[in-house]
Amino acid sequence: MHQFDVESLVAGRWRNGGGATREIVSWPVGGEEFEWRASVADIDRDGPFSAFPGVDRTFTLVAGDGVRLSAPGLFDRTARAGEPLAFPGDLELAAELRGGACRAFNIMVRRGRRAARVDRVTG
């Protein structure tokens, strides 16, 4: 087991300027075409999510009041703290913050090569 402080990870700004991502780990390490990836995202404002074709995503809000993720006619869900939300990364989603900035834990896996399940554990 390796402990770390998420604040010590390098934050990469999103292309749209609406947030930043701190990669925790990915495989292969440093590969543009990752097979799996774990990261923490800080979302500062409403805006588009980057699409990841061929990738399955699980988004878990860890701080904030909620994030509505939508693609008209295809997907419309609100992520709430501690409730993993799985969706295909192919979707071109828009994010709408429900009360200001938030932070999310993300797991992404290359469809057909890897699989992941995120469960909330309490107690």
Contact between residue 39 and residue 104 where contact means Cβ atoms under 8 Å apart: no
pLDDT digits (tens, 9 = 90+) for 26-85: 999 876 789 999 999 999 999 998 889 999 999 999 999 999 999 999 999 999 999 999
Residue that has been written with the tokens 């087991």 in this structure: 1
High-pLDDT (> 90) share of the chain, %: 76
The CATH number linked to 64 is 2.60.120.10
| Domain assignment of residue 123, yes or no | no
Tokens at 112, concatenated: 């057909």
pLDDT at residue 116 greater than cutoff 90:
yes
Residue 18 domain-assigned (yes or no): yes
**Is residue 92 one of the residues assigned to a domain?**
yes
Does 95 fall in a domain? yes
For residue 8, which amino acid is it?
S
Q: Which of 10-19, 78-87, 106-115 has the lowest mean pLDDT?
A: 10-19
Residue span of the structural domain in which 57 resides = 6-110
Domain count, the chain: 1
CA distance 44 to 18: 5
Specify the pLDDT at position 123.
Answer: 79
Give the pLDDT band of residue 104 (cuts 50, 70, 90). very high
